[in-house]
Amino acid sequence: MRNDADNLRLFHSAPHPCGYWPEREARDLVLDPCDPRLSGYYPMALEWGFRRSGDIVYRPSCGSCRACVPVRIPVATFCPDRSQRRCLARNVDVDAHIVAPSSHAEYLDLYQRYLGARHRGGGMDDHGAHEFEQFLIGSWNDGRFLELRQRNTHRLLAVAVSDVLPDAVSAVYTFFDPDEAARGLGTLGVLKQLEWAQRDARAHLYLGYWIAGHPKMAYKRRFQPLEAFDGRGWGPLPA
């Protein structure tokens, strides 16, 4: 990374509870958030296994633990499996719209309902408009919201927060109506991001981190082919 980013500073965060395994202690490697060149370095950082949260570009760096594996889908060769095709059929009444990010009341209400149902007690229960903007929108990235709406009622079902890069789309976060769990809206969000990336002839959809044995990460393995970053380069995620 130093060859392409002269004088770019990286920092280690202070130890903090792991967001995936709370009994473990985590640390992150963070690109200098005050560097005005951050937006230009972001595509390269994704190639090196980093991801974005708000204005922070980070990669887990946790001593002896290497559970977080960066993964991405090569868009041109992706083919939905049987369960993903069923998800598309189940949601044939859902339309996808790509819009500019904002914190208007409709998004914020859905986000807070999602957190209350899926992440109660996880430290994000009191998120309001300010925290929403800090976490999901950021100030320097080229972001979009991919809305999923029920066609006849125009009711908002889900939002996939995405970053647009020259040769990729990066899936940042997805929140959805907790009362519509049967639709598989998390999977649908990834499938619609893949359709978007295919239309725009982008090479990859970045999915953040996969963790073996973690129930919230199991769905990522079903998107095939799936590539993983091993610290040196990208290749097929080992079985």
Predicted pLDDT at 1: 46
**pLDDT tens figures, 61-90:** 998 899 999 999 999 999 999 999 999 999
Higher pLDDT, 216 or 1: 216
Least confident of 29-43, 124-138, 194-208: 124-138
What's the rounded Cα separation, in Å, for the pair 105 and 206? 28
- Where residue 118 falls among pLDDT bands split at 50, 70, 90? confident
Higher pLDDT, 124 or 176: 176
Both tokens of residue 218?
């199991």
What's the rounded Cα separation, in Å, for the pair 48 and 232? 8
Higher pLDDT, 156 or 116: 156
Stretch 116-145: mean pLDDT: 81
What's the rounded Cα separation, in Å, for the pair 141 and 166? 12
Both tokens of residue 87?
């998800």
Please state which CATH class domain 71-230 belongs to: alpha beta
What's the rounded Cα separation, in Å, for the pair 18 and 109? 27
Q: Does the pLDDT at position 125 exceed 70?
A: no
What's the rounded Cα separation, in Å, for the pair 16 and 59? 14
Q: Does the pLDDT at position 4 exceed 90?
A: no
Half-sphere exposure of 97 (CA within 13 A, CB side): 15
CB neighbour list of residue 22: distance below 8 Å, 6 or more residues apart: none
Taking the CB of residue 1, how many other CB atoms lie within 10 A of it?
13
The pTM of this model reads: 0.93
Long-range contacts of 61-68 (CB under 8 A, 24+ apart): 61/12, 61/27, 61/28, 61/29, 62/18, 62/24, 62/25, 62/26, 62/27, 63/25, 63/27, 65/24, 65/26, 67/20, 67/21, 67/211, 67/212, 67/214, 68/20, 68/209, 68/210, 68/211
Q: Where are the domains of the chain?
A: 10-68, 71-230
Predicted pLDDT at 36: 94
Predicted pLDDT at 119: 60
**pLDDT tens figures, 156-200:** 999 999 999 999 999 999 999 999 999 999 999 999 999 999 999
**pLDDT tens figures, 209-218:** 999 999 989 9
**pLDDT tens figures, 30-58:** 999 999 999 999 999 999 999 999 999 99
What's the rounded Cα separation, in Å, for the pair 135 and 127? 10
> The tokens 């393995």 sit on which residue?
221
Q: Does the pLDDT at position 59 exceed 90?
A: yes
Map residue 72 onto helix, strand or coil. strand
Predicted pLDDT at 2: 44
Higher pLDDT, 19 or 5: 19
